[in-house]
Each structure stands twice: as C-alpha cells, then as structure tokens.
Amino acid sequence: MPRTICLMISIATAALLAGASPRPAGAQSGQVPQAWLFGAWTGGVFPPPSSFNVQECLAQPVVIFTRDVVMRAASMDVTYIQRVIETARGTGTGVDFHFAQAPASAPQGPFSLSAGGSSDAGFGCESPDELHVQRRTENEISFPHCKDFPYPLVRCSGR
C-alpha cells in the first residue's frame, strides 16, 4: 500500500511540474496537442473548490494528463484508472482523445463491484474510448457530454 501511495505522489508531482507553465496548444514546434493539459486537475465529479492550496489539490487530483496517458480517480478504488492515448487531436477549443482499447479486467475479489468488463474505464462519455476536452480558460476545462464529470475541472497549479 505505501508503495502505491508513493507512486501516485511521484506521478502527480511529475505531472504538476510538466504543467507548471501551460502554453496554448501548438505553442512550441513538435509539441503534442494536449501539452497545455499536462498536470493534475480537480473538480469534475464535484464543483471545483473556490479556494484551495496546491497541497490540498494534489492530495487527491481527479484527473492527471501526461504525454501518453490520462489517469482518472476511481470512486471505489485507491488507484487511478489509466487510459493509454492512441490519438490526440487539437480542435481549436480543446482536444479530442481516442484511447487504446481498455483491457478487460477480472474482479479483484469476491465482493468486487466490477463486473469484469471495462465499463468503468471511460469518463462516462458516449464511448469509453473517447474523451472530448473543452478549454474554458487557461486553468479550467470541462468534459462535455460525460455524465461522470458534470462539473468543470480546475488545474492544480504550482503558482
């Protein structure tokens, strides 16, 4: 268990540092279209807090974006659901992600809530293998038409 927590803290810290100076998509030549999203985000499942510090935000980020993976918190699990990015396409107002197919997972125990499929691997959108991110401001995004994320998300900023 402590190893998992250390790993999650390391991932969150790396994601925060990667997102410490967000730039608009395509600001640097050769940069991936989701580069402005790199880092940890909170909210989405609940209204974003009106005031919080970096430590509070990083204690339990809801979504973490990296170059190759998008991670989301799972309500009934201590680990993040990780989705490998197959493609990311800038839309001018955000980014559309298409993920590699989620592997079917077996239930973890006799009382597991998972039915063994990958239904919880998505974001509650039309397809579990797609995510549309809409940029609202520099530090606020939303996942339109995703029932698991009815509220906007805000960046856990190091500033």
Mean pLDDT (whole number) for 91-115: 73
Query: pLDDT tens, 67-78?
Result: 999 999 987 788
- The whole-number pLDDT of residue 107 equals 55
% the chain with pLDDT above 70: 69
- The whole-number pLDDT of residue 108 equals 54
Dihedral of the alpha carbons of 124, 130, 136, 140, in degrees to the nearest 10: 70
- The whole-number pLDDT of residue 50 equals 78
How many domains in the chain?
1
pLDDT at residue 56 above 70? yes
**Who contacts 126 (Cβ-Cβ below 8 Å, separation ≥6)?**
145
CA atoms within 13 A on the CB side of 132: 11
CA gap 34, 29 in Å, rounded: 13
- The whole-number pLDDT of residue 97 equals 97
Mean pLDDT (whole number) for 137-153: 95
Residue-range definition of the domain harbouring residue 51: 2-155
**Is residue 63 within 8 Å of residue 41, measured between CB atoms?**
yes
- The whole-number pLDDT of residue 89 equals 96
